[in-house]
Amino acid sequence: MAIAAKTVTDICAEAKAASRELALLDTATKNRGVLAIADAIEASAAQIITANERDLEAGREAGLEAALMDRLKLDETRLAGIAADTRKVAELEDPAGRVIREFEMYNGLKVRKVAVPLGVIAVVYEARPNVTIDAAALCLKSGNAIVLRGSSVAANSNAVLAQVARDAIAAAGLPEAAVSIVTGGDRDELAELATQEGVIDLIIPRGGEGLKHALKSVATVPVIYAAAGNCHVFVDAGADLDMAEAIAINSKTQRPGVCNATETLLVHKDVANEFMPRILKAMDDKGVRLHGDARTQSLSGAGGPEVLEATERDWTDEYLDMVLAVKVVDSLDEAIEHINRYGTGHSEVIVTPSEQSAEVFTGSVDAAAVYVNAASRFTDGAEYGYGAEIGISTQKLHARGPIALRELCSYKYIVRGEGQVRG
Amino acid sequence: MAIAAKTVTDICAEAKAASRELALLDTATKNRGVLAIADAIEASAAQIITANERDLEAGREAGLEAALMDRLKLDETRLAGIAADTRKVAELEDPAGRVIREFEMYNGLKVRKVAVPLGVIAVVYEARPNVTIDAAALCLKSGNAIVLRGSSVAANSNAVLAQVARDAIAAAGLPEAAVSIVTGGDRDELAELATQEGVIDLIIPRGGEGLKHALKSVATVPVIYAAAGNCHVFVDAGADLDMAEAIAINSKTQRPGVCNATETLLVHKDVANEFMPRILKAMDDKGVRLHGDARTQSLSGAGGPEVLEATERDWTDEYLDMVLAVKVVDSLDEAIEHINRYGTGHSEVIVTPSEQSAEVFTGSVDAAAVYVNAASRFTDGAEYGYGAEIGISTQKLHARGPIALRELCSYKYIVRGEGQVRG
């Protein structure tokens, strides 16, 4: 059944009802639903591509930039990739039903703290239509119903993808309202979604600061922001400079447009004279534009790359681009202070041979992931072996780091007795 | 140093700085601080009681009701109790530093997911001054700084208790700003506290709906509501009626003013004829006033207790009093539907001999704690063996059920490598 004519409130209510059914399904049944989606994506490739072409055509007319057009595009190969990723979700461990703690009370009551689906999860996302299926598969696998709200730019693609998923789920005997989509693009609809208290259990926005602020001002349901990453690499005194260079270059340049890419390099003064000229040159060779403090500028040396004067904004901004802020610090403590002041609590790196520095850094830096002698780019559900993820959380409550299957669950205490009452 | 002259923002900034130090302390040092508070409470008993008498005097003049005056009162015995409870916190397992998950990545990176303190926790509470010390001890033990905001009714008591704790902590060599108090009682101050983004990591209100709404409309920092409990006991078909009576009576009457007390009794129609007359009489004998649906009213029988006609509000209200709503349901499904519609997701009970009913009930009822053949009154940190708690959460994110030491922690990933970069 088509869902376009329903209100957001109707759609959410149906999702809630479906979530009650989903919570009771066993792993095999949920996997059957996930695999049915994968098969249907492949079987409906022509229909999906036709819808996608309408979005691409509208995008061309609207003059969307090339990178956005590329993210929007679906073809046979990409659909096969989406189907393959979906099948991988079926292979992951079912997070629901996991016994987190189990104990017997003094009076013989048997207590199990058991992971349970959150219920209904809303995912708000931008132009990439593959998120429609990735997020739906993760929610279904974890026993949650999902309400999707994509970008209007991908409206045709998303509507068909969601409908294909719904039909596949229904044919597999699962409630079709496990996957729903809110198709419009206006902000009123977002506000309606974000205020479904008692119905939507969690809303996860995947997008920029504009979306974040739009949600912050209206949301009354719980939100986890798949957030920005202003990540740092700190090269400590005594660091192996070959290792430091490899880590800094990889953290900055391997994929500069993602949240776990590094934005600022901090260099201990004891190694700055030796390290700074070579790392600035290496970054410049890779095409990285440099913004540095006065000491960094002076260390670029004659014939070295240009280093623009860094301003306060260079310490706060997430460039998501081939730009790096660079600063000399006098001590480990200054590095930690800088990171805790300007960082977004995402992924932070120390390159050091000192166990003591590593202990102080990992203990003091307030971030989702803290790395000793490794690149910042590893903060990722797939890299951690958790499978796919909906995003990376930089908040401290509930989920910090990858938001993967386990993070889509709450828990409940199930307590069994034989008539115990409280004395 | 006295803190009265500082602004909320100053106090919170100092708490944040203290939290950075606390996060690095070992268990023995934190325990030393907790025990120092316990000793100081006893050593300063006279001073605390003098301050408390000023609050009691003001309360008498303001005509506070007897129950509130009793909660406000501190004497030697109660202070000894607070000190004893504080010493128990020192004996509990340190929640910070616990390794939650540990694995090695495909490339040899060693990943540890480690529990860490949240940072700064604000606790907003009502008249009971013992909360000042209970909450401070739990936060200190878990490595968090606390900012307290008590009721103006207990302002003198709370100010002295907090100062005694600060002095004790400082004398034990810990940062005194680990425990801070915001002394005034106006709502502007609450708003200032609730909008300290990036400084206050969590705010926990312990109080009624007024406080909850006041916070909901202003808070921009994360909030966990120590929430209301509209709890149910469902007596299934085939239930052991002696057990059902004992559980229902205990759940309703053992301490009716607390959140895990039961407010509604649901009885399956198959046992209603036999069970209803006896349970209504037993409740009446205990002094419980009864509000029931038409079937319940008709089953009270000749000479049975009066059953007022239940209205919609009887299904929604948390009485916190010797009042019980009673309803006959046609099926297990109707009971579950009623609970999921009207319950607050706190503690729900089924009395049943049927394993299948128990499975469906525990799977379908959406609550922090679901009991099979036991009273609702067990949802409590101390009962679960978690030690003291700050409250019971009915939300699904982060903490559900008792908010005890582990729930006052977040986690971070600490990843150690030997120069790994991403390919």
- The beta-carbon neighbor of A368 closest among B249, B360, B413 is B413
Task: Give the residue from chain B lying closest to A412, CA to CA.
Answer: B368
Task: Give the residue from chain B lying closest to A251, CA to CA.
Answer: B421
**pLDDT bracket for residue A302 (50, 70, 90):** confident
Cβ neighbours of residue B136 under 8 Å, at least 6 residues apart?
Answer: B37, B146, B148, B162, B165, B179
Q: Do B366 and A119 touch (CB under 8 A)?
A: yes
- Please state which of the ranges A282-286, B68-72, B223-227 shows the lowest mean pLDDT: B223-227
- pLDDT at residue B212 in the model: 82
Preferred mutation among B225, B364, B366 to probe A, highest tally of A CBs within 10 A: B366
What superfamily would CATH give domain B231-378? Aldehyde Dehydrogenase; Chain A, domain 2 (3.40.309.10)
Cβ neighbours of residue B292 under 8 Å, at least 6 residues apart?
Answer: B280, B300, B307, B308, B309, B310, B325, B326, B327
- pLDDT at residue A185 in the model: 58
Whether the per-residue pLDDT at A5 is higher than 90: the answer is no
- The beta-carbon neighbor of A400 closest among B23, B410, B421 is B410
Q: Counting every residue, how long is chain A? A: 423
Pairing of strands B262-268, B369-374: unpaired
- pLDDT at residue A136 in the model: 97
Task: Give the residue from chain B lying closest to A418, CA to CA.
Answer: B373
Average pLDDT of the residues in A280-292: 98
Average pLDDT of the residues in A324-343: 98
Summarised one tens digit per residue, pLDDT across range B145-194 is 999 999 899 999 999 999 999 999 999 999 999 999 997 656 688 899 99
Rounded alpha-carbon distances, angstroms, from residue A92 to A141, B109, B176: 9, 21, 47
Whether the per-residue pLDDT at A249 is higher than 70: the answer is yes
- pLDDT at residue B1 in the model: 43
Whether the per-residue pLDDT at A288 is higher than 80: the answer is yes
Whether the per-residue pLDDT at B38 is higher than 60: the answer is yes
Average pLDDT of the residues in A265-292: 98
Which residues of chain A make contact with B396, given a CB cutoff of 8 A?
118-119, 201-202, 222, 410
Helix (H, G, I), strand (E, B) or coil at B110: strand
Average pLDDT of the residues in B414-419: 98
Summarised one tens digit per residue, pLDDT across range A172-208 is 999 999 999 997 656 688 899 999 999 999 999 987 7
Q: Do B370 and A415 touch (CB under 8 A)?
A: yes
Preferred mutation among A98, A99, A118, A421 to probe B, highest tally of B CBs within 10 A: A421
Average pLDDT of the residues in B207-233: 86
Which residues of chain A make contact with B422, given a CB cutoff of 8 A?
250, 254-255, 375, 377-378, 383
What rounded mean pLDDT belongs to chain A? 94
Q: Do A413 and B358 touch (CB under 8 A)?
A: no
One CATH from 3.40.605.10, 1.25.40.10, 3.20.10.10, 3.40.50.720 for A8-226+403-416:
3.40.605.10
Average pLDDT of the residues in B61-83: 94
Q: Do B412 and A400 touch (CB under 8 A)?
A: yes
Provide the whole-model pTM. 0.94
What rounded mean pLDDT belongs to chain B? 94
Whether the per-residue pLDDT at B401 is higher than 50: the answer is yes
Summarised one tens digit per residue, pLDDT across range B340-370 is 999 999 999 999 999 999 999 999 999 999 9
Whether the per-residue pLDDT at A73 is higher than 90: the answer is yes
**pLDDT bracket for residue A216 (50, 70, 90):** confident
Rounded alpha-carbon distances, angstroms, from residue B348 to A94, A103, A105, A186, B374: 26, 19, 18, 40, 10
Whether the per-residue pLDDT at B96 is higher than 80: the answer is yes
- The beta-carbon neighbor of B400 closest among A385, A401, A410 is A410
Whether the per-residue pLDDT at B41 is higher than 60: the answer is yes
Which stretch of DSSP H or E encloses residue B168? helix B155-171
Distance from CA of B293 to the nearest CA of A (A): 26
Domain boundaries, given as residue ranges, for chain B? 8-226+402-416, 231-378
Task: Give the residue from chain B lying closest to A377, CA to CA.
Answer: B422
Contact by Cβ (8 Å): B392, B227: yes
Contact by Cβ (8 Å): B245, B285: no
Q: In this structure, which amino acid lies at residue A343? A: G
We find that the CATH architecture of domain B8-226+402-416 is 3-Layer(aba) Sandwich (3.40)
Q: Do B414 and A372 touch (CB under 8 A)?
A: yes
Angle at CA of residue B370, ends B231 and B278, nearest 5°: 55
- The beta-carbon neighbor of A400 closest among B220, B249, B411 is B411
Q: Is pLDDT larger for residue A218 or for residue A322? A: A322
Which stretch of DSSP H or E encloses residue B156? helix B155-171
- pLDDT at residue A2 in the model: 46
- Please state which of the ranges A47-56, A103-112, A198-207, A281-290 shows the lowest mean pLDDT: A198-207
Q: Do B422 and A383 touch (CB under 8 A)?
A: yes
Summarised one tens digit per residue, pLDDT across range A363-417 is 999 999 999 999 999 999 999 999 889 999 999 999 999 999 999 999 999 999 9
Summarised one tens digit per residue, pLDDT across range A141-159 is 999 999 999 989 999 999 9
- pLDDT at residue A127 in the model: 79
Average pLDDT of the residues in B4-13: 87
Preferred mutation among B259, B379, B396 to probe A, highest tally of A CBs within 10 A: B396
Give ipTM to 2 decimals. 0.94
- Please state which of the ranges B183-187, B193-197, B245-249 shows the lowest mean pLDDT: B183-187
Whether the per-residue pLDDT at B253 is higher than 70: the answer is yes
> Which of B383, B205, B320 has the alpha carbon at shortest distance from A109?
B383
Task: Give the residue from chain A lying closest to B413, CA to CA.
Answer: A369
